[in-house]
Structure 1
Amino acid sequence: MADPETEVVIPEDETAADEEMGEAEGDNGAAETAPGGLEDIEPEIPVRTTFLDYLRSPIIELKAGQGDDIANLHAHQGLLTASPFFARECENFTENTRNRRIDLTGEDLAATASVIEYLYKGDYFPTLTGNTNMEYDATVPQNDNDGVGLLRHARVYTLAKKFEVPQLAALAHRKIHLTQSTAKGEIAYARFVYKETSPDDEDIRKPVANFWATRSHVLRHEAEQEFKRMCLEFPQFGFDVLSLVLDAQEKRSQRQDGQSSGGAGRKRQRTIL
């Protein structure tokens, strides 16, 4: 005879308690394995571009020079793009571009080479050897009547402006002020500045005019004819120099009048006929 079936009845309260316990254990297990958030936080390491990265970039051919003095220069694209001008030119190249060329014909070859030298080294020959010195340049004559030294840096200055490298323009301008020259050499430099730079570029034009406005004795004895030709060729130069001379004379007159009259305004002398 079969045993009577026994029905086991589980109270609802115990079932709910078991479910709650299971959920709690599940939550605890998840809590033990779930990340607390700190594991995902890693220090941000800035990306540093090394010189090796520059050297791995494609080679750009630069055709530069004037007339018979034209040559093909080469530089790494990674360094050239420090110049916004070259960066825009390089945007025309794709990964499949085999021959990457930029035409700079018409630009001074030596000055272009100096720009590239600066992009690689942070300076160009003759380099600075101190706050007020540059390394010796044997190509500059002792009596530089042609302004060889000044014109070298002036050409670099104008190219730095064109290629949008303000740090290089400032460096070239500094070297101009450290370069020794003669009165005739200064006139050659002034002619280049007033021919090749913008009329609004007072950074380089104003010192030129001020140099001649404060050196009238040099004009009379060393470069009078050159100065005359310069004024006829570039009337703006003559006007700038004359304005500075008149400003200086006016200031001297005001000081003298103030000292002699105790600060009272000077009256115009009347002419009696």
Structure 2
Amino acid sequence: MADPEAQIPDVEDTPIEDVEMGAAEDGEGAEAEESMLPDIEPDLPARETFVDFFKSPIVELIVGTGEDQTVLTAHQAFLHKSPYFAELLSQSSSRRVDLPHDDLTAVGSFLEYLYNDEYFPKRLHPHSKDSALETDPTLPSPDDNGVALLRHARVYTLADKFGLPALKSLAHSKIHRTGSTARGEMAYARFVYKETSAEDTTIRKPVAAFWATRSHVLRHEADAKFRSMCLEFPQFAFDVLTLVLDQKEKGSGSGGGGGAGPSVVLPVPASGRKRARVSQG
């Protein structure tokens, strides 16, 4: 008996609907397989632009008290650069901060730094250690009250309060680029020893060193003020005396047999020149 012939259907006899259905099912399977593949595209954080800072809410800073009270405004995102303000604003829904005991000019310099990474008077050549500062026409001449020195000193202490070490370093570098008179230097020294901690040798040590090498100036230009300063701040007198005695020991030669060495002649520079101190920036 003959075997039955195998019947192979003609492709042309296959309904078009069946072909399309099969193709569709194959496509759905491929899509299903693709959907099961892991997402390999990295999630990149959005870049924060300078414009984004200006989109943040406005915060009011109430500086001073009474008739001297002034209202300043700043964007919250800029203020968040300061750990002090970041914590303060995160703990309260109010966008108002009272600064009754802070200096208005120093707060203005602080805000200028937040926005521009600098404050007036700016360094003429920021990348040079010997760069001079811009001319400030508002400063008195001679600056017997130490206005310029005190301006930067107040920015220094404010930067310490607000947790901005870079601003502290900037203010400190400007102090060493600022000239004054003997009386102005004494006003600056009084502020430093009154407003900074005893551990802050960064700003205190140069002050003591400045006066330790200026005995002639003390006798002829600031004797009364120096005496008052020593009585008001004994630590200042001790720091100056320690440096003077250290210099005397180095000059006399402590390694010998105890004999008196040559006397030490301390330099006598003019009190109004720019200060030759070691600076941070």
One-letter code aligned to 1:123: E
- Shift of the 170–267 alpha-carbon distance from structure 1 to 2, 3 Å rule, reads closer
Q: Which has the higher helix share?
A: 1
* TM-score normalised to structure 1 length: 0.78
| Shift in Å, 1:45 | 3.4
Identity of aligned residues (%): 57
- Structure 1 or 2, whichever has the larger Rg, is 1
1:160 aligns with 2:159: yes
User: Residue type of the partner of 1:242?
Assistant: L
TM superposition score normalised by structure 2: 0.76
Partner of residue 275, structure 2: none
Q: How many residues are matched?
A: 231
Distance 1:61 1:267 in 2: 66
Aligned residue runs from structure 1 range 140-151, under 5 A: 140-151=139-150
Partner of 1:69: 68
Tell me, yes or no, if structure 1 residue 217 matches structure 2 residue 206.
no
Residue 32 of structure 1 and its aligned partner are, at CA, apart by 9.3
Runs of 5+ consecutive residues of structure 1 not aligned to the other structure: 1-28, 259-264
CA distance in 2, matches of 1:34, 1:177: 70
Secondary structure of 2:69's partner?
strand
1:39/1:129 Cα in 2 relative to 1: closer, same or farther (>3 Å)?
A: farther
**Matched residue, 1:118:** 113
Measured in 2, the distance between the counterparts of 1:54 and 1:178 equals 32
SS at match of 1:63: strand
SS at match of 1:127: coil
Secondary structure of 1:73's partner?
Answer: strand
Task: Deviation per CA, 1:18-48: give whole Å up to 9, x if none.
Answer: xxxxxxxxxxx97897359987222453432
CA distance in 2, matches of 1:113, 1:49: 25
Q: Once superposed, what is the RMSD of the aligned Cα atoms?
A: 2.4
- Residues 1:108 and 2:107 are matched in the alignment: no
Larger relative CO (CA 8 A, sep 6+): 1 or 2? 2
User: Structure 1 residue 135: deviation in Å?
Assistant: 0.9
Structure 1 runs (4+) deviating above 3 angstroms are: 29-39, 43-47
Partner of 1:170: 169
In the alignment, structure 2 segments of 5+ residues that lack a partner are: 1-27, 261-281
Query: How far apart are residue 120 of structure 1 and its match?
Result: 0.7
Match of 1:266 among 247, 257, 267: 257
Q: Which moved more, 1:160-169 or 1:124-133?
A: 124-133
Aligned letter for 2:123? L
Counterparts of residues 108-257 of structure 1 (less than 5 Å): 108-130=103-125, 131=128, 132-254=131-253
Letter matched to residue 120 of structure 2: F
SS at match of 1:40: coil
State the secondary structure of the residue aligned to 1:49: coil
